[in-house]
Amino acid sequence: MNSSEATALAILKQIRAAGFTAFFAGGCVRDRLLGRPAKDYDIATNARPEQVEALFPKTVAVGKAFGVIMVVEDQTETEVATFRIDGGYQDGRRPDSVEFCGAEEDAKRRDFTINGMFYDPINDQLIDYVDGQADLQKKIIRAIGKPDLRFTEDHLRILRAVRFAHTLGFTIEPETRSAIRQHAPDLTHISCERIENEFSRILTESIHPGTALAELVELGLMQWIIPEVLPIIGQEQPPEFHPEGDVFTHTCLMLNLMDSHPEQPVVLRANQQQDPAFKKQLAYTILLHDIGKPATAFQGSDRLRFHGHEQKSAEMAEIILRRLKLPVKDLRNILTAIAGHMRFKDVQKMNQSTLRKLMGAETFDLELELHRIDCSGSHGLLTNYHFLLEKAAEMSTEPILPERWISGKDLKEMGIPSGPGMGQLLQRAYDAQLENRFSNREALLTWILTQPSE
């Protein structure tokens, strides 16, 4: 039993000891039946919000009007919600009013059958009013009651259905699927932040994110999330470089390869692949790295070409990611990786200073992983990838980008005035240092005296 479960169980027992009914509810019950670790534990009870508040010294009234109180114990927040029936929904998100009720009525107002079950941990008893256990066994995502009503109440359930299907490896049952298509335009009534959060979870938590992306397209949802993705469907590519097919097929293949981590002979930095922030950046970088190809496609004398597509993709990605309101650091790193992803084809021709700058960049791990997956999802040639790993191993005992031997202060003392010329001279000096053209600072300073300042 992990700490969050232990804390939730203690809270549940205290509610029960006060004479109320209390069960674990929702996702933690689903995950328990699937043998999966639960991310958090929610409690449903017949105790009213003010009664819950009276039982615990520290609570947060996060949604008291809707019967939801957060109980804080052992630095863990546990949601405790009163059984309720929701009134009408005017904003497609929250009920206009709630009426407190019993457990069965509460279960029947929830989103999907697999999330509508309760569990009594005291008596080890499942309480299932919606046949959720049967749908778990069938691996089906089914809306509780009438799907049309469930999606009218909360439009985000449209995306949640897809997320649950692809994180669990389930299928969406036909009536629920039909209602998703019908309600797809309702996504326009949801805030960008809520769309981004759910879509990002689909990209980073799905078993096969590329397959999930294809289903979002098939259900008519992508045109309301990132419509710029649609033109890459059917965009042909040269078969000698992309035997897999069009840009969309390539992108889906790449997304499905995100978790295919090879054994690496050198750890370039801390294992960022396990970092959720890194994975999110990687997912969006993959999704958008070729989004500019349709706009730059032209038939050359020898084959179809996409000159400048990387820069066009970065420009389009910035518009998309700002619209989704991704954090600034995520935005910066993703755009850097997209704009520079074609450089990797030339790494074996680069001089030492250019190569070191590439490898010493903050975004190098992201760019390298994009390159590996890009090649693996197309022609399969990883020569440049392995070349970079070998270079990283060679440089593992020294900083890839060492401290500069020469500063602006040094140049001023040598009588060189501030301005663009000084900046260019400093860059040439650092390039010479990175290329090991001089053995020490003094030799480099002597060389600088022979250089014209532009």
Segment 396-428, tens digit of pLDDT: 887 888 888 888 888 888 878 888 888 888 888
List, for residues 79-105, the tens digit of each pLDDT value.
999 999 876 666 556 666 678 999 999
pLDDT of residue 225: 97
- Answer yes or no: is pLDDT of 267 > 80: no
105, 122, 138 - which closes a domain: 138
Domain count, the chain: 4
Take residue 300 and report the two structure tokens written for it: 């050359």
336 belongs to a structural domain: yes
pLDDT of residue 190: 93
Residues 179 and 274 in one domain: no
List Cβ neighbours of 376 (8 Å cut-off, separation of 6 or more). Answer: 254, 257, 260, 382
What is the C-alpha separation between 259 and 282, in angstroms, rounded? 11
pLDDT of residue 65: 85
Coil vs helix vs strand at 357: helix
64 belongs to a structural domain: yes
Band (pLDDT 50/70/90 cuts) for residue 272 is low
Evaluate whether 371 touches 278 at the Cβ level (below 8 Å): no
Residues 64 and 78 in one domain: yes
401 belongs to a structural domain: no
263 belongs to a structural domain: yes
The pairs formed by 36-40 with CB atoms below 8 angstroms and a separation of 24 or more are 37/2, 38/4, 38/5, 40/4, 40/78, 40/79
What is the C-alpha separation between 107 and 67, in angstroms, rounded? 15
Q: Which pTM value belongs to this model?
A: 0.88
Phi-psi label, residue 92: left if phi above 0, alpha if psi -120 to 50, beta otherwise = left
Coil vs helix vs strand at 170: coil
Take residue 190 and report the two structure tokens written for it: 């949801």
Evaluate whether 140 touches 170 at the Cβ level (below 8 Å): yes
130 belongs to a structural domain: yes
Coil vs helix vs strand at 120: strand
Nearest by Cα to 32 from 164, 133, 110, 163: 133
Helix residue spans in 124-208 (DSSP H): 132-138, 147-153, 157-168, 174-183, 192-205
Evaluate whether 16 touches 122 at the Cβ level (below 8 Å): yes
Residues 376 and 442 in one domain: no
- Answer yes or no: is pLDDT of 270 > 50: no
Query: What CATH number does the domain containing 191 carry?
Result: 1.10.110.30
Residues 146 and 16 in one domain: no
**Percent helix, percent strand, percent coil in the chain, to nearest 5:** 55, 10, 35
Q: What is the mean pLDDT of residues 44-56?
A: 96
Residues 373 and 440 in one domain: no
What is the C-alpha separation between 137 and 117, in angstroms, rounded? 14
Residues 379 and 281 in one domain: yes
Band (pLDDT 50/70/90 cuts) for residue 430 is confident
Element (H, E) at 98: strand 98-100
- Answer yes or no: is pLDDT of 273 > 60: no
349, 367, 394 - which closes a domain: 394
Domain containing 27 equals 1-138
242 belongs to a structural domain: no
In DSSP terms, 59 is beta-bridged to: 71
In DSSP terms, 299 is beta-bridged to: 304
pLDDT of residue 216: 98
List, for residues 364-393, the tens digit of each pLDDT value.
999 999 999 999 999 999 999 999 999 998
List, for residues 183-239, the tens digit of each pLDDT value.
999 999 999 999 999 999 999 999 999 999 999 999 999 999 999 999 999 999 999
Residues 16 and 80 in one domain: yes
pLDDT of residue 86: 78
Burial, 289: exposed, middle or buried (Cβ in 10 Å; 0-12, 13-18, 19+)? buried
Q: What mean pLDDT value characterizes the chain?
A: 91
List, for residues 147-166, the tens digit of each pLDDT value.
999 999 999 999 999 999 99
pLDDT of residue 389: 92
Take residue 226 and report the two structure tokens written for it: 């990132």
Residues 117 and 207 in one domain: no
Amino acid identity for residue 133 in this structure: Q
- Answer yes or no: is pLDDT of 10 > 70: yes
Burial, 282: exposed, middle or buried (Cβ in 10 Å; 0-12, 13-18, 19+)? buried
Residues 287 and 368 in one domain: yes
235 belongs to a structural domain: no
pLDDT of residue 399: 82
Residues 132 and 52 in one domain: yes
CA atoms within 13 A on the CB side of 232: 27
- Answer yes or no: is pLDDT of 291 > 80: yes
Number of H helices, E strands in the chain: 22, 13
